[in-house]
Every structure is written in structure tokens, then in C-alpha cells.
Amino acid sequence: MKKDNHVHILFRYGVITMLILLFSGMIGYKLFSTTVIDATHWNEKARRQLEKVDTILPERGDILSDKGELLATNLRYYTVRIDFRCDNFKQNQYLASIDALADSMGKHFPIRTRDEWRKRLEKPLKMEKAKRPRAWPLVGNISFLDLQKIKSFPFFNIGNPNKTGMTVESVLRRSNPYGAMARRSVGGVGQTRECKEVHGIYGLEKADRKSLDSLLYGKPGLSKKIALTKDIVNWTDVPPTPGYNVRTTIDIQLQDIVENELNRVLDSCSADWGCAVLMDVKTGDIKAISNLERSKNGNGYIEALNYAVVGFEPGSVVKPISMMIALEDGLVDNLEEVIPIGQSWAYAGGRPITDSHYNGTLRVREVIEQSSNIGMARIITRGYDKNPKGFVERLRSIGFLEPMHTGIAGETTPYFNPEPARIDLSRMCYGYASQIPPIYTLSIYNAIANGGRYVRPRLVKGLRTESFDSVMPVSYIRDRICSEENARKMQYMLKQVVWGERGTGRSLKNDKVALAGKTGTCYSVDPETRQYNTARKRLAFCGFFPADDPQYSCIVLTFYPKRNMFGAASTSGQVMKNIAVKMYSRGLLGNSSDYTQGATGISRAQLYGSTSPTRHKSVRQAAGIHSESHPAAPRKMPEGTVPSVLGLGLREAVVALEKEGYDVKFHGTGYVRQQIPAHGTRLPRGKEVTLALVP
């Protein structure tokens, strides 16, 4: 028996020894095959791996406001997961901490209640151990601070991921800290069809793909494999270059005002969409731009297509452009010249041109004020009746048809028929038979406000990196498109639209900021019938403020209002008025004076270059100005007596009285017409003075 057992043991050892020898032989053969027979193949494969070059994506640059606030930046977001099958997972400790953990999650991540979090945290442990998830999502899309907060929660504060099962995934995403503010203009990013690189898809992020987008994108780096003692690792051969930070002209405070005032009026009149652009007169900096359209679910307004750079038939806001050309070309030189108007005017065999209200005659200066189609057509056809194409070429000569390169993606140029007929000429000059983006219309008004200098609108102000900071200089489309004298005449006519007795924008008068501008109404084409639909109006107001010392130009469009307000002044004009008054109330217009219906604006002597009392009187009456008197400075009184502030604006009166130590109360608006107690009254410092103001 012992002998048989011994034989069996030896046999087993023999079999094991043979197997070991067999496997050793196979290993030896494989080693020989790899290092000798197939050495060329493996060396080639290793060479290909070591020569392989990978692209390292650069970090996209930030988009900043004019003061450096972040409008678009790269933020890293985190997703927290739990591996319930990791080797050292502390299940008992997890169960003991689940109540406290659910309480912390419910408090800091209220997407679920405390009880809902508890049920969710318990659910994976109810599965069989072999089927428990290895990457169970706890919470996603959280910030770094939220991640650190989670790591301080019960159970997760153990810190050892092998015991808690916590794993963290991160991804870099483009973020807009100010939400939807100027979103269409700032833009968005995404992967292109050609490759997985992230580039701009609209707005500033996309603008000028060959320049601005590439500057934001930066330069990719290169990495390759290198062989170390124990491993082959990635090695950065050429480091990536981060993109430039782009500094825009957007002012956050002004952007907030523009968006809120546009939204308020759109909601009041239930319009389909609206657009507003606010620009600095001297520099062409676009300080605010908003495009809002009704949400598809009918719940308020959201950021929309950038209508500021889309071509529309402009309506009557184009008339000042035509009038400026008429002044420059000498088609009119006397603003008192009388133009025959009448019921209608047939020209070139087309449908007779009509006005919205009847006038037998109008002076040249009243054509803009009362928005006369007939008057404008009669003036322009004086010079271009035999050469309609010459009018288009005239617009081209001032740079109006050239690309502006504002930095806004999707920018289009104005369209006029390059071979217009005579009837086209008569329509183009007052806002039909053409397609003009609002930003182009605004640019001409801005030039008028700027004394004739045609500054280029821009949304990009400079580029910045850690070691580089540049400021792009102000540029001009044309150094001048009209003389200073004609610019003053145009400023006067545009102010009369608001301040004239029959101005189409006279409802916009206010005693805070004097507006100058032009209303415009244009019927839109019905997409089904391809005919003008008189109900679907596109209402515009374009102008500048303060009228006497222009600082900002502005254009507003409102499309298809359905209730309460249906006119260009009461919709788009009201938006501009609200913006100007809000800026005034926040002290953003400098030391602007108080304005009344009697404000003179540009002096008649400046306008005409003449001292003729008769001519001055006619213009003064047309402007509704009944007195040439101006408020005087506060008269000095003996110390301890109330100074006279009669005739002063509210701000000047308050400053004068407070300087003497008096408290001030007032009622009404405009200029001081009464003060209690009267000037010269002895009154101790700290007492109250009441002012009565009248427009």
C-alpha cells in the first residue's frame, strides 16, 4: 500500500514537472520569437507609438466687459459618483451616516428633499453586492466649491476614496456668469462638424472666424510618448497657448438698463420681438445691445436672433440720411424754403406717394419733424431724377454700403438696387425698396450727433493675456460725411421731432433728458401672401441724447405690438426715453441740465450763421419756444438769508440751497418759479426751503 502511494506521488510530481517544463519552454519560445523572430514587427510598432503626436487643446480666452467683468469664461464642472463595489468600501459606516448625509444633501442640494435623498442613498445597497453600481451618480454639474462641500459631509469626510468609493469626473465648459445678458452678442461655442475642436457658433464667440475666434481659441499644443524605465508616458513637446481674453465695449450697468427697459415695453404692448442698441457717440463703442423675442411657451421674453445686424426695410428713420445728403449736395440750402405737399404726389408713373396726415405745404425743416414722404421724395428727386443710380452711389461714397466689421457675427450690409428706376429712387429716400440693418442706420445718426465724423461702431475694444494688453484705437469709416454746419442743422431737425409742436415724437418730451431722433413705421411682408400686411408693423426710433450735447446714440425696433401702444414713439421711442431717464437718474450723463418744453437746444445763430431777428423768431415759434430768457445763477444775498434760486433747474437750486445749509423740499418739474420762504428772508441754517417747479 505504501509502495502504491509512493508511486502515485512520484507520478503527480512528474506530471507537474512536465507541465512546468512545457510552460517554461513556451515562455522561452515566445521570448525568442518576440525578441528575435518578430523583433522587426514589434520594434516598428513601438516606433509608431513613440512617434505618435497628440494634440493638446488650448484653454479658450475669456470675453470681458469694458470694465473687465466676465461675460464668458471657462469653468470646470464636476460629477460625483460612488463605487459601491470597491474593495474597502465601508458599508456599515455608510449606513450609520446615511441620515446625516441625506440631511446635508437636502440642505445644500435642494433638488430633492431630505427624505428623497435618503431613499436615493439607500437604493444601491438594496441590490445584490455583485450587481451594485460601480459609478453611481450622486450629483452632477457642480462647482469646485460644491465639490469641497460634499467632501466635508458625513461619511465622505473620511477622505480615503478607497473607503468611501467616491470618484470625481470633471469637464471644462463655457459659462456666462451674467446669464442671458447680451447672450446673442456675446455668443456661444460648440464642436464643429469638421473636428471636435470647440469654436464659436454665434455672436462674438464666432465673429470673424479667421481672426477673433482664432484669437479666443488660442494655439493647440503637441504631446508625444516617451519610454521610461517602467512605462511609456505622455510628454508635452509643445505646450498649448491659451487664447486671448477679448475686452468688449459692453457696459454691464447700461446693458442691464437697456434689457430691462426693452423688456418692459415689449411686455406692455405684447410685441413679437424687439431690439435695442446703445452706442457712445465719440468712440462708436456699443455699450449695450439687446435682442428679445417672445418665448415659444408664451412665458415672457428671451434673448433672440441678433436683429441689429439683419437687414430690414427701415421706414422713415432713413429720411434724415436722405436729408443730410440733400444738404451736402446743395439740393436744399434754406430750411425756410416752402415745399408743396398736398394730398398726394404722383411720380414716375407709380402709385401716388402719400403722407399719414395732410399738409398743403411744409418748410424744409418741417419735413423731418412731421415725417413727410412727399416732401422727402420731392427734395431728393431734384438732384437724382435723371440719375437714380447716383443716389445709391452717393450712399456708397460715404461708406454706408461697406462692411463695418463691428465684431458681431452675422453682420450684413445694406442693400439697394444697384440699377434703380426713378420710382425706386422715390421710395428709397423715405425708407422702402431697400434693406438696412439697424446698426447701419444708427451709425449715420451717430455721425450726425458727432458733428459729421463717421466713427465705426465696434463691440471689441482690446485683447489681453497675462503678459500682453492692447487697446484698439477708435477708427472711422469716413473722417467726415457732412460738414459741421449741416450736422448742426440735422441735429436741430431731429430735436424738433420731439420738441416741435407737430413733431411725430412729441410724446417723448421730458424735463430730465432732451431727446433728438426720428420715428419710423414700416409694414412687414406677410410670409404667406408676400404682400405688405398693414397690421404687422415694424416700429423704430433712432436718435441721440442729450440733444444739446450728444453723448449716446440709440436705435430701438419693436415688431408687431398687439395692445396698448401701436406707434413708433409710444413703443420704440418710449424705450429710448426710459433708457435716457434711467441713465440720468443714476448720474450716468454727467451734469446734464434740467430740460423743459422751452429748451432751445442748438442756437439759431449757430444754425443759420445769421443774426436776423425775423428768421430767429420764425424758428423759435416753430420750436414752441416763447422766450429767449435763460435761468441765471443764484443771486448772492446777505449772510444768513435765503438766496434766490428763481429760474434755476432743480439740481442747480438744490446745490445752491444746500450749500447755504438749508434742507430742500420741492414739488413739480422743470424750473423754480416760487420759493418759500422768499429770497432775502432771514432763516437759520438747517431750516427747510420749499420750491415750486413748473415746466
| The predicted structure's pLDDT at residue 642 | 86
Give, in order, the Cα–Cα distances in Å from 332 to each of 64, 239, 381, 486. Answer: 47, 65, 12, 11
Work out the mean pLDDT of the chain and round it to a whole number: 82
- Contacts of 535 by beta carbon, 8 Å cutoff, 6+ apart: 560
Helices assigned H by DSSP within 75-202: 91-108, 114-122, 144-151, 161-164, 183-186
| The predicted structure's pLDDT at residue 49 | 64
At 462, is the pLDDT very low, low, confident or very high (cuts 50, 70, 90)?
Answer: confident
Give, in order, the Cα–Cα distances in Å from 169 to each of 23, 111, 143, 527. Answer: 43, 20, 12, 49
Contact 125, 165 (CB under 8 A): no
At 594, is the pLDDT very low, low, confident or very high (cuts 50, 70, 90)?
Answer: very low
Three-class secondary structure of residue 445 per DSSP: helix
Q: Residues of 266-301 as b/e, b for ≥16 C-beta within 10 angstroms? A: beebebbbbbbbbbbbbbbbbbbbbbbbbeeeeeeb
Structure confidence by residue, pLDDT tens digits, 77-122: 899 999 988 888 888 899 889 999 999 999 989 888 999 999 999 9
Rounded Cα gap, residues 653 and 486, in angstroms = 36
| The predicted structure's pLDDT at residue 46 | 67
pTM more than 0.85: no
| The predicted structure's pLDDT at residue 626 | 37
| The predicted structure's pLDDT at residue 51 | 63
Three-class secondary structure of residue 22 per DSSP: helix
| The predicted structure's pLDDT at residue 624 | 35
- Contacts of 553 by beta carbon, 8 Å cutoff, 6+ apart: 278, 279, 281, 442, 445, 446, 449, 542, 543, 544
| The predicted structure's pLDDT at residue 631 | 38
Structure confidence by residue, pLDDT tens digits, 283-339: 999 999 988 888 887 678 887 778 889 998 888 999 999 999 999 999 998 999 999
At 598, is the pLDDT very low, low, confident or very high (cuts 50, 70, 90)?
Answer: very low
Q: β-strand 245-248 against 63-64: which pairing, if any? A: parallel
Rounded Cα gap, residues 262 and 575, in angstroms = 6
Structure confidence by residue, pLDDT tens digits, 503-530: 999 999 988 899 999 999 887 776 666 6
Structure confidence by residue, pLDDT tens digits, 665-693: 877 766 677 888 888 888 887 788 888 87
| The predicted structure's pLDDT at residue 299 | 76
Structure confidence by residue, pLDDT tens digits, 638-672: 677 888 888 777 767 777 787 787 888 877 766 67
Give, in order, the Cα–Cα distances in Å from 490 to each of 13, 90, 541. Answer: 112, 81, 16
| The predicted structure's pLDDT at residue 484 | 94
Rounded Cα gap, residues 200 and 623, in angstroms = 50
The rounded percent of the chain whose pLDDT value lies above 70 is: 83
Evaluate the CA torsion angle 529, 357, 274, 439 in order and state its sign. Answer: positive
Rounded Cα gap, residues 572 and 41, in angstroms = 75
Stretch 11-33: mean pLDDT, rounded? 83
At 605, is the pLDDT very low, low, confident or very high (cuts 50, 70, 90)?
Answer: very low
Region for 301 from its dihedrals, namely left if φ exceeds 0, alpha if ψ lies in -120 to 50, beta otherwise: beta
Tracing cell 503678459 back to the chain, one arrives at 467
For residues 1 and 241, which has the higher predicted lDDT (pLDDT)?
A: 241
Tracing cell 428768421 back to the chain, one arrives at 615
Range in 152-161, 353-362, 603-612 the model is least confident about: 603-612
